[in-house]
Amino acid sequence: MGLIVQKFGGTSVRDRDCLFRVARIVADTRNAGNDVVVVVSAQGDTTDDLLVKAAEITTDPSHREMDMLLATGEQISIALLAMALQEIGVPSVSLTGWQAGFATDRTYMSARIKRLNTERLESELARNRVVVVAGFQGLNKSEDITTLGRGGSDTSAVALAAALHADRCQLFTDVEGVYTADPRKIPKATKLKEITFDEMLELASLGAQVLNNRSVELAKKYGVELEVISSLNPVPGTIVKEETKVEGMLIKGVAKDENVAVISILEVPDVPGMSFKVFSLLAQKKINVDIILQSSGRDGKKDLIFTVPKTEAENAKRILEDNKTRFNGGEVLINKNCAKVSIVGAGMQSHSGVASTMFEALFGQNINIHMISTSEIKISVIIDAVDADKAVAAIHDAFIQ
Amino acid sequence: MGLIVQKFGGTSVRDRDCLFRVARIVADTRNAGNDVVVVVSAQGDTTDDLLVKAAEITTDPSHREMDMLLATGEQISIALLAMALQEIGVPSVSLTGWQAGFATDRTYMSARIKRLNTERLESELARNRVVVVAGFQGLNKSEDITTLGRGGSDTSAVALAAALHADRCQLFTDVEGVYTADPRKIPKATKLKEITFDEMLELASLGAQVLNNRSVELAKKYGVELEVISSLNPVPGTIVKEETKVEGMLIKGVAKDENVAVISILEVPDVPGMSFKVFSLLAQKKINVDIILQSSGRDGKKDLIFTVPKTEAENAKRILEDNKTRFNGGEVLINKNCAKVSIVGAGMQSHSGVASTMFEALFGQNINIHMISTSEIKISVIIDAVDADKAVAAIHDAFIQ
């Protein structure tokens, strides 16, 4: 007996059959004695269809009007899912983002939730109804519709779970949980029973596209227990929470990120403030820098080497070259044929031998390492892109049986 | 310099080109020095597509959820039209029904407007913006979305014009105005410059499907001057207002309604209360009875003959037969092969000869009249359906050159 928030993405509600499959999952959860709040995204291709309609009108739409347009997608889903639930005998009611009390800031297309007024929601739950809430959307102070941007429905679900003190927030996807590696590429990849928020955050930012980072951060902040679970086969998935039982396995996953480019600025003066000058330039242009490596100075010069998203690489190079005089820099080189491979697991730093096992696995495949970065819970290496899949397989073999 | 409310139906906004055509009409109106509020319906087939989605889920959807679903149609239109206006340099903002202040009663799918809170609208107009409002929808006391039912967008436009004291409410359609007869069938039909509310009401209820009756009634009640005008060719259309200048023409139009069936109940007792018993039965089942004719009693019996919409005829017959004992009635006959042809014009009753001219025109075509009904501003006859078009042409020829 508890309160469960269940979130279903666009693929899970894309047509009649999918909607009834979701309705039955919700009905089962309710029949097990739980109150249920369901959060849904827009159906399948609805959002893309709406984007096409807007693109036919203008290449530069007002963000306010885009949100007005896009918010219809989830509104369609909630109405249809409420109908499907009623059709199988589950009392239910749909609520738009604003009806469900999502108050956001004024940033259209990527608004942040400021407050959640759960009055209406709680009164509907008190009437013993399943409440179907439109994810991804809210209302700003001017009473205009806003959307939360990419991954917004996950964020909506976690925010609801936090505000309602739900016992669990289940995020239904097309995978059965969080795996030690991408199961389509590494057949031996196994599903994790549990993972910590921090591990999940590292895995997510490393390219394991299971959960949106913002929703994991929010869950961590408010202590909302998450479950990543399949809507096609709703057996227990992976629980994401603050602390996990110590399992045999230290390494929770091996992840690959191919959206990486290495930029080298050769021979910048080896004086204080150089890094600041370079990286504040990029930060101003909202370019995220990930791994940074600095050669030790020689003859009053040093090299700065760092990674940026591959999609930002040319942009970053141009900015640096345009501002060369600011750091008296030499050549700016760019290498887009690389990839980042990482292992994630809480407490790995206190276990000696983790890094060396990883490097040994790469050496065994004759893979050259360009850069290394370590943190409390992860070790990342930058290698040639062509070696990436081979590297993941070898590392996975070395750590996980 | 004034305030104009312009309403565009679903066909007028069905795709990109149509949206830009509408945007240019609005821009022209604004450039002529007017404030403009635009009311739009859902694009072309959107509503039908949404109805199909609902029908796939259930044959008996909750009306509340239907309104949640259907209201997305206009929300898409307003966002796209606001974008199109901005694209051609017209500052604009879209408002849903609830943002525009439409407060309705609780009747989902055919709600009535109770109040219009124009605060937001007026503040947007004060910012020199064209306001694009979603027609057909509002919000009830529970803060749930409602829709106004058939013709709802016209009603929204008229209500806005009334609340904002607009100088005119222009209803854009695919015809150029109100004609003396259906111009597709009667080539000599001419466009009326002006027509009174009452005449328009008679023409509308008689099957000239130009305007929705509810919106004309509302316009009459609040003295809102309407203009029926073409979105394809926005030359001056037909003005609908309280009183019109006396034009040469007495008869404003000839209309045909084929959704008519005649029901005869033979030999009911000729005693008081018989009509009440019969018609209250039908009223309970929401079947509208139009023309009623009663034979004079003979041998203590009389015949009751009346018309109902053809679509309700079988239903009416079954109800009457199931309740025969209540009025000791004999046979219930039904004739679905008939049509109603009417002429409308204010003050025709004070002009002798109008009825006889009409009957003469029918006689000239050897058309038999089954029933006749007259009022202040119209004369209707029930004739065989096969004669209907011939009758309209002959009557039109007799009255209008």
Region A151-161: what's the mean pLDDT?
A: 94
pLDDT given at position A263:
92
Q: In this predicted model, which residue has the larger pLDDT, A16 or B277?
A: A16
Mind listing the pLDDT tens digit for each residue in A377-401? 888 999 999 999 999 999 999 988 6
Report how far residue B269's alpha carbon sits from residue B187's, in angstroms, rounded to the nearest whole number.
Answer: 49
Burial letters for B14-34: b for 16+ Cβ neighbours within 10 Å, e otherwise? beeebbbbbbebbbebbeeeb
pLDDT given at position A285:
84
pLDDT given at position A85:
98
pLDDT given at position B247:
54
Q: Following DSSP, what letter does each residue of B230-250 receive, concatenated? A: ESSS-S--EEEES--PPPS-S
| Helices A197-205/A213-222 angle, 10° precision | 170
Closest chain B residue by Cα to residue A50: B76
Rg of chain B over Cα atoms, rounded to whole angstroms, equals 23
Report how far residue B134's alpha carbon sits from residue B148's, in angstroms, rounded to the nearest whole number.
Answer: 12
Of A66, A72, A80, the CB nearest to B75: A72
Mind listing the pLDDT tens digit for each residue in A212-231? 888 999 999 999 999 999 98
Residues of chain A found within 8 Å of residue B82, distances taken between Cβ atoms? 62, 65, 68
User: Is the Cβ–Cβ distance between A169 and A157 less than 8 Å?
Assistant: yes
Q: Which domains does chain B have, with CATH numbers?
A: 3-173 (3.40.1160.10), 254-399 (3.30.2130.10)
pLDDT given at position A174:
81
Closest chain B residue by Cα to residue A20: B57
DSSP conformational letter for B297: P
Cross-strand bridge partners of residue A132: A38, A94
pLDDT given at position B301:
84
**C-beta atoms of B99 and A144 within 8 A:** yes
Residues of chain A found within 8 Å of residue B68, distances taken between Cβ atoms? 75, 78-79, 82, 94, 96
**C-beta atoms of A82 and B94 within 8 A:** no
**C-beta atoms of B76 and A72 within 8 A:** yes
Residues of chain A found within 8 Å of residue B62, distances taken between Cβ atoms? 82-83, 86
pLDDT given at position A400:
82
**C-beta atoms of A86 and B56 within 8 A:** no
Range with lowest mean pLDDT among A276-280, A309-313, B339-343: A276-280
Closest chain A residue by Cα to residue B19: A57
Token pair, residue B62, equals 């909750």
Residues of chain B found within 8 Å of residue A87, distances taken between Cβ atoms? 57-58
**Percent of chain A scoring above 70 in pLDDT:** 96
Report how far residue A127's alpha carbon sits from residue A124's, in angstroms, rounded to the nearest whole number.
Answer: 5
Of A20, A58, A145, the CB nearest to B83: A58
Q: In what order do the strands lie in the sheet with B92-95?
A: B92-95, B130-134, B35-40, B3-8, B168-173, B226-230, B238-241, B194-196
Of A20, A65, A99, the CB nearest to B143: A99
Region A271-291: what's the mean pLDDT?
A: 83
Q: In 3D, which of B345, B256, B79 has the Cα closest to residue A63?
A: B79
Q: Count CB neighbours of A46 within 10 A.
A: 20
The model's pTM is 0.82
Report how far residue A224's alpha carbon sits from residue A161's, in angstroms, rounded to the nearest whole number.
Answer: 7
Of B15, B72, B78, the CB nearest to A75: B72
The number of angstroms, rounded, from the C-alpha of A283 to the middle of its chain's C-alpha atoms is: 21
Closest chain B residue by Cα to residue A134: B68
Residues of chain A found within 8 Å of residue B83, distances taken between Cβ atoms? 54, 57-58, 61-62, 65, 69
Mean pLDDT score of chain A, rounded to an integer? 90
Distance from CA of B7 to the nearest CA of A (A): 20
Report how far residue B91's alpha carbon sits from residue B354's, in angstroms, rounded to the nearest whole number.
Answer: 53
Region A115-135: what's the mean pLDDT?
A: 97
pLDDT given at position B297:
72
Of B19, B65, B72, the CB nearest to A83: B65
Of A16, A65, A99, the CB nearest to B94: A65
Token pair, residue B267, equals 């030999």
Above 90 in pLDDT, residue A354?
Answer: no
**Which of B21, B68, B144 has the highest number of chain A CBs within 10 A, making it the mutation to test binding with A?**
B68
Above 90 in pLDDT, residue A337?
Answer: yes
Report how far residue A88's alpha carbon sits from residue B279's, in angstroms, rounded to the nearest whole number.
Answer: 40
Above 70 in pLDDT, residue A71?
Answer: yes
Distance from CA of A382 to the nearest CA of B (A): 45
**C-beta atoms of B68 and A19 within 8 A:** no
**C-beta atoms of B16 and A86 within 8 A:** no
In sequence order, the 6+-apart residues with CB closer than 8 A to the CB of B356 are none
pLDDT given at position A292:
85
User: Is the Cβ–Cβ distance between A290 and A282 less than 8 Å?
Assistant: no
Closest chain A residue by Cα to residue B21: A57
pLDDT given at position B208:
61
Residues of chain A with a CB closer than 8 angstroms to some CB in chain B: 16, 19-20, 50, 53-54, 56-58, 61-62, 64-66, 68-69, 71-72, 75-76, 78-80, 82-84, 86-87, 93-94, 96, 99, 120, 143-145
Above 90 in pLDDT, residue A167?
Answer: yes
> Which pLDDT band, with edges at 50, 70 and 90, does A350 fall under?
low
Residues of chain B found within 8 Å of residue A40, distances taken between Cβ atoms? none
* pLDDT < 70 regions, chain B: 1, 205-209, 244-249, 347, 349-350, 352, 401
